[in-house]
Structure 1
Amino acid sequence: MKQISILGCGWLGYPLAKNLIKNGHLINGSTTSESKISILENAGINPFLVALESESVSESIDDFLDKSEILIIDIPPKLRGINSDSSNSFRKIFVEKIETLIPSIEKSTVKKVLFVSSTAVYGNENNIIIEETIPNPETESGKQLLLAEAILQKNQNFETTILRFGGLIGEDRHPVKFLAGKENLENPDSLVNLIHQIDCIRIIEEIIDQSKWNEVFNAVAPFHPTREEYYTQKATEMNFPLPKFSAQKSNIKKTISSEKIETTLNYQFKLENY
């Protein structure tokens, strides 16, 4: 049994916390919403109201981290609407939040950090992507995630594992809902790189159970149909209007490999054809 703090009990963090409790662990969970405190408490999670800002963090952070050996950071960058400053560079808001968090981790009992990142750090490579591939992010969120990864990895006060998820899907979350019925969608022959919530949770559990720290893992289900094939099939299965794709082909066929997860963790994806 371990005591684990999960920073961000949202779409992934909340069901993850419930699963870890079932496995016998003690869980501290954070939220930024007072209305969710009772929800976490009713699920057996020790709830904390924690707001992480660019220049400050809630006073509750010390109690949230107290007695925990492991910290799971699962907070999205949320960078929409950020404007560039006079030097034409974006403010590194998410990076600043991680930097603000670091001193609290250093003085706590936490010795292991699992940082939930994204395959967006690789950009649009026309290749098979493995963990040794040099990241080349094109989006602002990808750039800030990569910087945040580096800040955590270089800190000698704790061991950090980086977990880069592909596109997240689940029973209540599927991109076809937003694509259904739309026309002239780009990149029909680009390949999908998705992972289901169930596999996300199971992979995190395996990292903890097997003590795989100071690692970087890509986590994407090992099936990669084209966007047009996949979303047309899913729209049909879900009785949505079919999406219509542009006839213009793309030369970007990025394939995220999860071979390291499968071999290092001896992991078999539960759902290979979402």
Structure 2
Amino acid sequence: MTQISILGCGWLGLPLAKSLKQKDFDVKGSTTSTDKKASLETVGIKHYAIALETNTVQDSVPSFLDGSEVLIIAIPPKLRGKNKDYSDANKNSFVKKIQNLIPFIENSTVDKVVFISSTAVYGEANATLDEDAVAMPVTESGKQLLEIENMLLANTNLQTTIIRFGGLIGPDRNPARFLAGKENLPNPDAAVNLIHLDDCIGVIEAIMAQEYWNAVVNAVAPQHPSRKEYYTQKAIQEGLQPPTFDEETPSIGKIIGSNILTHKLQYSFTQPLL
């Protein structure tokens, strides 16, 4: 039985852990505190309380990694803003936290890593982009995610696959509530780049099942309705007031293609956006 460690059993990591457990994987899961210990252990997932730091690693990390072949890193960077500088070795540096963790991964039984990243690394390009596009992030979180991607991919001791998810939707992330009732929103004709939680899990499981390592994979639903169409329809479906949009200013925005998923891995998305 393959053992998998999931660093970050939150909105994505917890249902992923449950799905893998149902498929007879042995799963270890971490949260930043003991609050979710019961919810993991009642479904047979061994819980570890791990909060990443920039200068130290908690004593529980080696046992969390021990015996696992695959490590899935599913924790958000929690950085916001275009102009903030968190690049120094301070408590806000996501890069430093992952960098600090890598020697422990190298010294463990783990030889494969799945790192959950974001299409934010592509920045504000006004184009259709696939995995060959040059990443040019503008937000601090995007910049740090890209730096971590490159750091992991360059590590020859590990086989790493990066998954760049689009906007995440699903339980507790109802798209109808994002913009409902708002007025004069920009970019009505710009495409949305979203993915449902069920497909997030499906993509991760497909990559592991097909042993698709040492790669970057975009993961965005193949439907790309306009912002106006998508958020208006979703608001109506939920009985909410639809947003209004600025129709005078030309729309700009990128479209993310998931070419590797659909062509190489033959993955079929299960959750349509509309």
TM-score band w.r.t. shorter chain: over 0.9
Identity of paired residues, percent?
A: 55
CA distance in 1, matches of 2:204, 2:177: 27
Q: Which residue of 2 aligns with 1:90?
A: 86
Q: Which residue of 2 aligns with 1:26?
A: 26
How many residues get paired? 270
Cα–Cα, structure 1 residues 26 and 159, in superposed 2: closer, same or farther, change >3 Å?
A: same
Contact 1:118–1:165 (8 Å) recurs in 2:
yes
Q: Which residue of 2 aligns with 1:45?
A: 45
Contact 2:82–2:140 (8 Å) recurs in 1:
no
Relative to the length of structure 2, the TM-score reads: 0.95
Cα–Cα, structure 1 residues 245 and 81, in superposed 2: closer, same or farther, change >3 Å?
A: closer
CA distance in 2, matches of 1:133, 1:42: 43
Q: Which residue of 2 aligns with 1:115?
A: 115
CA distance in 2, matches of 1:250, 1:95: 36
Deviation at 1:247?
2.3
Q: Which residue of 2 aligns with 1:12?
A: 12
Contact 1:83–1:90 (8 Å) recurs in 2:
no
Q: Which residue of 2 aligns with 1:103?
A: 103
Which amino acid letter does the alignment assign opposite residue 174 of structure 1? N
Deviation at 1:58?
1.2
Contact 1:188–1:249 (8 Å) recurs in 2:
no
1:77-129 CA-to-partner distances (Å, cap 9, x unmatched) read 00148985xxxx43350101110111110100000000000000001111111
Q: Which residue of 2 aligns with 1:234?
A: 234
Q: Which residue of 1 aligns with 2:245?
A: 245
Q: Which residue of 1 aligns with 2:134?
A: 134
Deviation at 1:6?
0.2
CA distance in 1, matches of 2:225, 2:82: 33
Relative to the length of structure 1, the TM-score reads: 0.95
Q: Which residue of 2 aligns with 1:184?
A: 184
1:169-213 CA-to-partner distances (Å, cap 9, x unmatched) read 003212331311111212111110000000000110111111111
Q: Which residue of 1 aligns with 2:150?
A: 150
Q: Which residue of 2 aligns with 1:68?
A: 68
Which amino acid letter does the alignment assign opposite residue 49 of structure 1? A
Contact 2:125–2:254 (8 Å) recurs in 1:
yes
CA distance in 1, matches of 2:219, 2:139: 19
Q: Which runs of 5+ in 2 are unaligned?
A: none
Cα–Cα, structure 1 residues 201 and 233, in superposed 2: closer, same or farther, change >3 Å?
A: same
3-state DSSP class of the match of 2:199?
Answer: helix
Q: Which runs of 5+ in 1 are unaligned?
A: none
Contact 1:185–1:245 (8 Å) recurs in 2:
yes
Contact 2:6–2:72 (8 Å) recurs in 1:
yes
Contact 1:190–1:250 (8 Å) recurs in 2:
no
CA distance in 2, matches of 1:49, 1:111: 22
Which amino acid letter does the alignment assign opposite residue 33 of structure 1? S
3-state DSSP class of the match of 1:30?
Answer: strand
Deviation at 1:251?
4.2
1:192-211 equivalence runs, <5 A:
192-211=192-211
3-state DSSP class of the match of 1:191?
Answer: coil
CA RMSD in angstroms comes to 1.5
Contact 2:4–2:26 (8 Å) recurs in 1:
yes
3-state DSSP class of the match of 1:101?
Answer: helix
Q: Which range moves more in the overlay, 194-203 or 74-83?
A: 74-83
